[in-house]
Amino acid sequence: MAEPMELLCWGGDWDLPSVHTDSLIVLTYAKFSGAKLAVKSIDWTWRTITASVPQLHYEGSTVTEPTQILNFLRKQRFNADYELTAKQGADTMAYIALLEEKLRPALLHTFWVDTENYANLTRPWFTSHSPFPLNFFVPGRQASLALSRILLTKAESPLLNITEVEGKIYSEAKECLNLLSHRLGNFHFFFGDTPTSLDAFVFGHIAPLIKAPLPSGQLQKHLNQLDNLCQFCNAILKNYFNASAEKRTDCSPTTIHDPVDANLQKLTQLVNKESNLIEKMDDNLRSSPQHRPHRHESKPLALAGERNSTPHS
Amino acid sequence: MSLAAEAFVSQIAAAEPWPENATLYQPLKEDQILLSDSASSLAVQTFLRMCGLPVLVSCRANAEYMSPSGKVPFIHVGNQVVSELGLIVQFTKAKGHSLSDGLDDVQRAEMKAYMELVNNMLLTAELYIQWCDDYTATEISRPRYSSPYSWPLNHILAYQKQWEVRRKMNAIGWSGKSLEQVYEDVSQCCQALSQRLGTQPYFFNKQPTELDALVFGHLFTILTTQLTNDELAEKVKSYTNLLSFCHRIEQAYFKEHDRESQSGSSRHSKGSLP
């Protein structure tokens, strides 16, 4: 292999080598398997809108999509899954499917659809990392792609509104995180002591969630309660991307603002929450006569008693 | 359903025992039902049989529109209507029947992961082959899907469904895949299932769980449905332990059912396993 393999990906921030989940997966796997990659970030180039990231260039051929890139690396004899049994290999596929189905929609929502996060974190970051005039288009395009993906895969006919889908996807994501935590237990990695592709996938998904300073992050709070996943993430950062991981010793998202700004932020958040609550109350008042389940949910026990007493047909 | 409504339903569900007249609705078996719907329906039927709960199967042309979530099959039990295997499993659990109680947390995590694998790979591949492959869509899917309706409604509904499915494939990134890549994905999924099953009778050793029902539903339907070519069935047949798994479940749970309903094999279904 005369020339090194070249990887195009989004740049890094918040102690991570890349803020983009798929790029992070590939970077982590490369570290695990010992592949030397020449990492080229697409920030501030026209590739932010033309390229589908991550992209691996090698001897004229181009590979996209994390699973394809990992297969390609395996063919080049960079295999981190060498010691897995057949059953563990099957488990890897199953857990990756679980991540994609349950966790990815909630991650997309947290970063791209949730208005507070999008306006205060995601859009400014991607805007500042794209060249003029693309900075007007890139974040909006990603956000609409994320929203359409969530709605098309998760929204069934009674749940056509994004707000109703939210509840469902966040509860599924929390369940998925709990399942991952149970599976990891007290081990360092998912299959014993050596990292594998499943570890790369899990790291790629949860690392941005742990490290990003999200203004409104209920999923982040849930993840912070799962200590073993936080430690897993920090251990990988320390051992494989050792640069700035020493700064962070705990896994709570730290804000670097001084106290005055923090208070102002809290005040604005409270005001936002209040106005959201008032809007929701307004909606409820408007729709309550037709919206029967709300009336039922306040007295389930009484109704259960009624049903028991009536004869069944 | 919103979370509060779901909690309410399970509370109400817990109050009544399973009635005798529970019904499962699916599209018409001979003319209308497609591969993916047939697979989901068989999975639910298998699950209910494994729990020992009686259910009548009723075929309706408008089953998709009757369903609360737009997906078939759905069951009508007492006063509730529940669709999709995941929700039905929750519902039966609230009634006190569960197949996965004996599993510990790690095993339950594995079971859920494998169910997602089947849904993610097999179901999506089935939908892709039916609606995104032009030849299959024109020859089989569109005519079958719209068979109960007259012109021009049949054309409108068929194209609408096709457009919907293609949009979804686009959103999850499958529209760039070729048919060979999809077959390859199915093969990998079967390989993973085969390796997980190994030589055990069921996926979690002695007891069948909802994962077994789901896998059986999909694999049996793939093996017994006639598409434009047999490549999908060939991919599954190359894993012998999966074949014997399907035989075993068919023998155990569908012996009488087999003789009654699948003796008259239709153009679409080849009847019992080869």
| Among the partner residues B71, B79, B192, nearest to A93 by beta-carbon distance | B192
Q: Is the pLDDT of residue A304 over 80?
A: no
Q: What's residue B216's pLDDT?
A: 93
Provide the domain limits for residue A14. 6-244
Nearest CA in chain B to A179: B109
Based on the domain organization, do B89 and B180 belong to the same domain? no
Question: Each residue's pLDDT tens digit in chain B (274 positions)?
Answer: 456 666 666 676 667 788 888 889 988 888 888 888 899 999 999 999 988 888 899 998 888 888 888 888 889 988 888 888 888 888 888 888 888 888 888 888 888 889 989 988 889 999 999 898 888 888 888 888 888 888 899 899 999 999 989 988 888 888 888 888 899 889 989 999 998 888 888 888 788 899 999 999 999 999 988 888 888 888 888 999 999 999 999 998 887 555 444 443 333 455 555 5
Best B184, B196, B203, B214 residue to mutate vs chain A (most A CBs within 10 Å): B196
Judge whether A278 lies within some domain.
Answer: no
Q: What's residue A302's pLDDT?
A: 43
Based on the domain organization, do B91 and B114 belong to the same domain? no
* Chain A contact residues (CB < 8 Å to B): 65, 86-87, 89-91, 93-95, 97-98, 100-102, 145, 148-149, 152-153, 156-158, 164, 167-168, 171, 179-180, 182-183, 185, 293-294, 296-297, 300-301, 303-304, 307-308, 312
Q: Do residues B82 and B91 touch, judged by C-beta distance below 8 A?
A: yes
Q: What's residue A168's pLDDT?
A: 83
Q: What's residue B8's pLDDT?
A: 67
Q: What's residue A299's pLDDT?
A: 44
- Determine whether the interchain pair A304/B12 forms a contact, defined as Cβ–Cβ distance below 8 Å: yes
Q: Structurally, how many domains does chain B consist of?
A: 2
Distance (Å, rounded) from C-alpha A194 to C-alpha A191? Answer: 7
Provide the domain limits for residue B49. 7-95
A88: CATH: 1.20.1050
Distance (Å, rounded) from C-alpha B45 to C-alpha B68? Answer: 18
Based on the domain organization, do B36 and B115 belong to the same domain? no
Judge whether B12 lies within some domain.
Answer: yes
Nearest CA in chain B to A95: B113
Judge whether A284 lies within some domain.
Answer: no
Would the pTM count as exceeding 0.80? no
Based on the domain organization, do B76 and B122 belong to the same domain? no
A251/chain B closest Cα distance in angstroms = 24
- Determine whether the interchain pair B116/A102 forms a contact, defined as Cβ–Cβ distance below 8 Å: yes
Based on the domain organization, do B67 and B113 belong to the same domain? no
Q: What's residue A54's pLDDT?
A: 81
Judge whether B270 lies within some domain.
Answer: no
Interfacial B residues in 186-205 facing A (CB < 8 Å) = 188-189, 191-196, 198
Q: At B209, is the secondary structure helix, strand, or coil?
A: coil
The DSSP code sequence of A65-118 is SHHHHHHHHHHTT--TTTT--HHHHHHHHHHHHHIIIIIHHHHHIIIIISHHHI
B175: CATH: 1.20.1050.10
User: How deeply is B270 buried, as exposed, middle or buried, from its count of CB atoms within 10 A (0-12, 13-18, 19+)?
Assistant: middle
A227/chain B closest Cα distance in angstroms = 17
| Among the partner residues B4, B70, B172, nearest to A156 by beta-carbon distance | B70
Based on the domain organization, do B140 and B18 belong to the same domain? no
| Among the partner residues B8, B12, B112, nearest to A307 by beta-carbon distance | B12
Q: What's residue B220's pLDDT?
A: 92
Cα distances from B233 to residues B39, B44, B187, B230, B239, in angstroms, run 14, 21, 10, 5, 11
Judge whether B272 lies within some domain.
Answer: no
Nearest CA in chain B to A88: B196
Q: Is the pLDDT of residue A248 over 70?
A: no
Asked if the C-beta of B178 comes within 8 angstroms of chain A's C-beta atoms, the answer is no
Among the residue ranges A45-59, A119-133, B148-162, the one predicted with the least confidence is A45-59
The residue among B127 and A44 whose pLDDT is bigger is: B127
- Determine whether the interchain pair B113/A179 forms a contact, defined as Cβ–Cβ distance below 8 Å: yes
Based on the domain organization, do B123 and B233 belong to the same domain? yes
Q: What's residue A288's pLDDT?
A: 62
What are φ and ψ of residue A61, in 5° steps?
A: -100, 150
Condensed to tens digits (0 to 9), the pLDDT of residues A127-146 reads 888 888 888 888 888 888 88
Judge whether A230 lies within some domain.
Answer: yes
Q: Do residues B273 and B250 touch, judged by C-beta distance below 8 A?
A: yes
| Among the partner residues A97, A156, A185, nearest to B117 by beta-carbon distance | A97
Q: Is the pLDDT of residue A13 over 90?
A: no
Q: How many residues does chain B have?
A: 274
Burial letters B109-120, b for 16+ CB under 10 A, else e: bbbbbbbbbbbb
B80: CATH: 3.40.30.10
End-to-end Cα distance, chain A: 76
Q: What's residue B84's pLDDT?
A: 84
Burial letters A66-86, b for 16+ CB under 10 A, else e: bbebbeebbeeebbbbeebee
Chain B residues touching A157 at Cβ < 8 A: 69-70
Chain B residues touching A296 at Cβ < 8 A: 8
With a CB cutoff of 8 Å and minimum separation 6, the contacts of A299 are: none
Q: Tell me the range of A36-45, A189-198, A248-257 where mean pLDDT is highest.
A: A189-198
Q: What's residue B256's pLDDT?
A: 54
Chain A residues touching B193 at Cβ < 8 A: 90
Beta strand extents in B14-155 (DSSP E only): 23-26, 56-59, 74-77, 80-83
Q: What's residue A238's pLDDT?
A: 87
Best B116, B165, B174, B214 residue to mutate vs chain A (most A CBs within 10 Å): B116
- Determine whether the interchain pair B116/A97 forms a contact, defined as Cβ–Cβ distance below 8 Å: yes
Among the residue ranges A15-24, A120-129, A302-311, the one predicted with the least confidence is A302-311
| Among the partner residues B78, B171, B198, nearest to A87 by beta-carbon distance | B198
Q: At B82, is the secondary structure helix, strand, or coil?
A: strand
Judge whether B88 lies within some domain.
Answer: yes
Among the residue ranges A95-99, A280-284, B267-271, the one predicted with the least confidence is B267-271
Judge whether B1 lies within some domain.
Answer: no
Closest CA to A212 of A252, A262, A172: A252
3-state helix, strand, coil in chain A (%, to 5): 65, 5, 30
Q: Structurally, how many domains does chain A consist of?
A: 1
Judge whether B267 lies within some domain.
Answer: no
